[in-house]
A and B are shown apart, each in its own frame.
Chain A
Amino acid sequence: MRHGRYPFVLGFLVAPVVLYTIFVFYPITQLVFVATTNWSGLSPDFDNVGLENFEKIWQDSTFWQAVQHHLMLLIALPLITIALALFFAFLLNMGGGTRGGVMQGVWGSKFYRVVFFLPQVLAVVIVGVIFSRVYGPDQSGIINRLLSFVGIERVLFMSDYGMWAILGVLVWQAVGFYVVLFSAGMSSIPADLYEAAVLDGASRITIFFRVTIPLLWETIRVAWVYLGILAFDAFALVMVLSIEQGGPDGATAVLPVLIYKQGIRESEYGYASALGVSLFLLTITFAILALRAGRREAVEH
């Protein structure tokens, strides 16, 4: 039987490798190729221009604005989302104190679980449309309407706080998923660990920081990478919510939207592809760094 093993293993490997080559590897090499051309996208003709597109990117102030926004999202989005999700997950699972030595969730935690998860099942564009009403600049905006009841001057979210408003929506939508993820992680932590901690007189806060977090570290790290990659996107929300799709004046510029604008609107597919390559490099660099930096001794249980 042993001699039949390689064809068998190869048979399983070929299909995914072929699919991966056609649908991932080949398009990426094409992207790099198109990035070195001045292809307009409107006809099959183009010239090779070498690295000219990348030179242009280097001098493009909107590109650097977008990179800054991604860095902001890269720090703020995982930080806020993970903090909130951990907090909520802890409340849902253990926030209700102990009963007979077993940690309990807060009252009504099953209901909250559904509420938290709800934004996750909505399509991003729908979320965008909902928030365009939430952030409405006048009395028709939900937040501004509420503010007016307590006599606070209206806030022009998309004009003055564009990127923060986008961040708010991203967090709102992402939290639910990570609450569920962390809840699952928490429920796999053996109850006797908590029992021991409770017997030793640890408070809920101590238990959270000394027991839960270390044991959840792997899950948190994965969440960090996912959220970091999400921070390089934000396409749909910016398209739906922002002024002039990335404005005013690049205040909500993000790379995917720049790519879209250059490629589709200004018919510069070569330049758009060069932006795509830059985005690809940024994302890959982040993913590698995040996985490296987050590596530490996993606590076994």
Chain B
Amino acid sequence: MAELLFELGTEELPARFVVPALDDLEKTFTEQCIALNIKHGAIRRFGTPRRLALLVADVAEKTDDVMKEVKGPSVKAAFDAAGAPTQPAIKFAESVKLPVDQLKKVSTPKGDYLMATVEEKGRRSFELLSDVLNLCTRKINFAKQMRWGDVEQSFGRPLQWIVALLGTEVVPVTYSDVKSGRVTRGHRFLSPAPITVEKPGDYEALLEKSNVIPDVAKRRALMIERIAAAAKKAGGTVLPDEALIDQVVNLVELPSPVVGTFEERHLDLPPEVLIQEMKSHQRYFSLTAADGKLLPKFIAVSNTPVKDEQLSIKGYERVLRARLTDGRFFFDEDRRMPLSAPERMEKLKRRSWIDKLGSMSEKTDRIRALGAFIAKAVGQTALIPTVERAATLCKADLNTGMVGEFPELQGVMGREYALHDKEPKEVALAIFEHYLPRGAGDGLPTQDAGAIIGLADRLDSLCGLFGIGKKPTGAKDDFALRRAAITFIRIVIARGYRFSLSAAIDESVSLLGAKLVDAKRKPTDPTVKDQLVEFFRGRLESTWKENHRADVVEAVLSAGFDDLACAQLRLEAISAYVSRPDFASLAATFKRVANIVEKQAKDITRDAVDPKKLTDEPEKALHAEVSKVSAAFTAAVQADDYAGAMAKVVPLKPFVDAFFDKVMVMAEDKALRENRVRLLMEIGGLFGTVADFSKIQAES
């Protein structure tokens, strides 16, 4: 057994390529080893901007010998009438190096055949690895491939060297203009001399001695530790930013943070602007004081611990100074003209949103109308003026210099500029909050106006794009509509908004009006509403199934979800019952009711139960009980107390069971039969508004 080291040395890879490339390398290597039967131990991965490497423990020297069965001629053809072997049998025996009498016979559907068990010798891993490692190299799927020099092959960036060592031996691997060897490189500037690797186990220590931390996790931990120490020394804390850490860790081989400062006067810029200026072009980390406010300081992570830190810090500061001057220029310029200025509104008209769906200005108009509709539907009539004003301004910042420079600041600048324009605070906040949540980890809107505009904006996008046939398919979701729908649901539920989803869709579609009509004045997609309702159902289903039983989810959805917040309450009520020990039998009883109702109801008029036609005791008792709980049940439902409503129907169970036990529902007499079914319909009608129990998996 020996260790294997495989390192691909490159010119600086894009930071975002490193980890996916290591995933690909490891995956291909593992797959190939399984396919070729090469046994090996644990795999370690190393990656920096200049290298991708695998270190594999305990690679078997050779693959195992295997016994293989080889089929020969048919028995019929193998022996003559006298039972002596024929020419084909003798030839076969020779080919497998066995005497004829040691050949076995095997029965197949096509008859009996001769068969031999032969031993296939294992092969040396060393020989197999050449091809395996070459394939590993080829199969790295970089987001972008490039060619270099005069070679046909491509890679993420030009390949400079390959180290391939099994034990102390170089495994021959060739890719483009590079041949494998045992020479690697250290830090580009601090340790420029070539480094000879004698054996794989030396690799990590050799590199660390040469100013490279090749293990991504180790480098990341070291970087975080050093950044924190630098921040502490500077009297602050680093503003957490995992994405920035992930990026910066693969921009350096030896993380060397330095602290710089900027002029305090820039602190009057919105903090989001400062943070964005520091991170998006410069990849600097921001620092905050104990009170959470930004400090006029930053941390840049160098790849080289330079001779005189101050000299290079001056450089970092100079770049940021130019950027902040630019940022201040935009901030001042933008504020010269209010968000609501006719010129800005005019620009929105010229800003296309989506070709067929018109300009941003048209979208804004629809958001305003749909926002007012939703506000009214959820009983926030008093909020309509705020919603309308904020909706009018909600996209106006798209045409400001700052958002042009930093698209990530949309909404943030809208809020800042609205405040500067002396718009009401709620309007400014709503402009910002209508984009929330902008990503994982971001909060939901905290106020109604922003929440409502956010709903209107997303529903308009959903209806518009579905209407012109751009709904997501498979993995393709160019407009992030799945996320839009999920966010829509989250906001509705979090804020407890009660309204009809289908009515809102109708309103949105009617506002889109002519946009969804083709040249022949036919709707481009007449089934928009059905598709969208189905789409929402799918989102609810997948979200709910993360935390709830699949059959319960189905039962609740089947009972309707047009009122999303109500559906959520029903789900929670039923889910709370699931854990009860008697749930299974309770569910079985109600399921039986639901099944009969489903089967019989279509032929029976929805009349009330006629008490005079109830003949047997159990059905009389059941009817009396149903009449008793019915009003209380309805009252609980109306009060959104679905747990309470369930508690009201649970006591019916023994009566229902007795009814099924003793009474023949499918009586010969039509009148009796129908009356009994109506009694069940009445019960079904009660819990059917909460959930469809026929969908519950329960023992019957």
- A and B part of one assembly: no
